[in-house]
Amino acid sequence: MKGIVVYDTSYGNTKKIAETIAETLKESGIEVDLFDVKNVKKLSGKEYGFLVLGSPTRFGTMSFAIREFAFAFVHIEVDWCENTFEKPNIRPSN
């Protein structure tokens, strides 16, 4: 199974955590792509079996860039449904 780790960062903390998660998964034999959300242009959900989202806390919630990505990713979820993957819970609660 191949997964994706997408993070946002301003000062590097979330980047470090995302890199550690990706490295740890790779060490366990799981294939992972790692992206700074600012560099994500287009993604196919069919390529991935799971998603890890990393965001700094901004005013009590996720960053704008991660929120925007999460909402855009809803379209990809349709493909995931067709592939009978379980939907990741990536929608913001507020």
Ligand X SMILES: Cc1cc2nc3c(=O)[nH]c(=O)nc-3n(C[C@H](O)[C@H](O)[C@H](O)COP(=O)(O)O)c2cc1C
With binding defined as CB under 6 A, does residue 41 bind ligand X?
A: no
With binding defined as CB under 6 A, does residue 20 bind ligand X?
A: no
With binding defined as CB under 6 A, does residue 28 bind ligand X?
A: no
Do 87 and 81 contact (CB within 8 A), yes or no? yes
Least distance CB 53 / ligand X (angstroms): 13
Piece of 10-18, 32-40, 41-49, 77-85 that binds ligand X (CB under 6 A): 10-18
Side chain identity, residue 56 = P
Residue 77 sits at the vertex; the CA angle it makes with 72 and 79, to the nearest 5 degrees, is: 120
Least distance CB 38 / ligand X (angstroms): 12
Least distance CB 21 / ligand X (angstroms): 13
Let me know if 20 is exposed, middle or buried by CB neighbors in 10 A (0-12, 13-18, 19+): exposed
